[in-house]
Amino acid sequence: MSLLPSCRDVARHLSDSLDGGRHLGMHVRLHLSVCEVCRRVLAQFELIRRGAARVPEEGPSLTPESKARLRRALEPG
Amino acid sequence: MTTEPSTWVDAYGDRLYRYALSRVRDEGSAEDLVQETLLAAFKSRDRFKGESSELTWMTGILRNKIFELYRKQAREAPLAPAGDDDGPETEFFDARHWSAAAAPRDWAGEPALKAESAEFSAALGKCLGALAPNVARAFILREMEGAAPRAAAEALGVAPGHFAVLMYRARLRLRRCLEKGLFAPEST
């Protein structure tokens, strides 16, 4: 059994670190320094975070019927 | 002082709806959320001080409504405690390392630009739809709403450790789904 974390361990560490759960320890950093795939995973997790935080400017709109319903709901009385 | 409420549906309706739909993934629920948001804004319009734009103010109301909805769903269908089983990850790993089929590939082109595109939002929506609802909700609260992990876990009614497992599963699955659908589709 290796003392160094596996790619599987590292993927979990990377996810936890994005939620502030734990800092990447020396062993994980060492693994990242030699494992291109795991560096890629970190970059991709971060990229997904940036993309997901964006509010979509395009996409479906309310139907005219829905808008009419909403307008009625906002009418006084 | 707000603008005339009769103009709100045309001015903000579609933007609030897109926001809601990207977070709840159901047209009926999204429309209900927009209606609740507009009504709440209408009732509290005297308190609007104009320190932010009306849209920002209404989006804040909508975000609270989304949290409320998630809390309600969690109360109605509580999640079972997460097991520490290896099941969900076995499709990605051969024991310690990525399996040949699931190993992350290089994302071609300019992935950072692609992540800012409408194409990304559409692909993410599709990929979220393929996740188990609890996994999708965890991701939406944390990464789309920017909720702190503890607040998101509390809204979902799960322990912090369970929430971390849900986030891990969400990231693994979304990474693969977005890779296949957008960032590095396999040539056919």
CA neighbor of A74 nearest in space, from B65, B34, B21, B18: B34
What chain B residue is nearest to A7 in terms of C-alpha separation?
A: B97
Pinpoint the alpha helices (H) of B25-159: 27-43, 54-76, 111-114, 118-129, 133-139, 149-156
CB of A49 within 8 Å of any CB in chain B?
A: yes
Asked if B149's CB is within 8 angstroms of A19's CB, the reply is yes
Question: What residues pair up with B93 in beta bridges, in sequence order?
Answer: B98
From the list B6, B13, B92, the residue facing A62 with the nearest CB is B13
> What pLDDT score does A76 carry?
74
Locate tokens 């003392």: which residue? A3
Report residue B95 as tokens. 């024991």
A7 vs B contacts (CB less than 8 Å): 93, 96-98
Residue corresponding to tokens 């909508």: B62
Give the mean pLDDT of B114-122. 90
pLDDT < 70: residue spans in chain A: 1-3, 21, 77
Lowest mean pLDDT among B27-31, B80-84, B116-120, B180-184: B80-84
How do the domains of chain A map onto residue ranges?
1-56
* B98 DSSP β-pair partners: B93
Chains A, B: CB pairs < 8 Å: 146
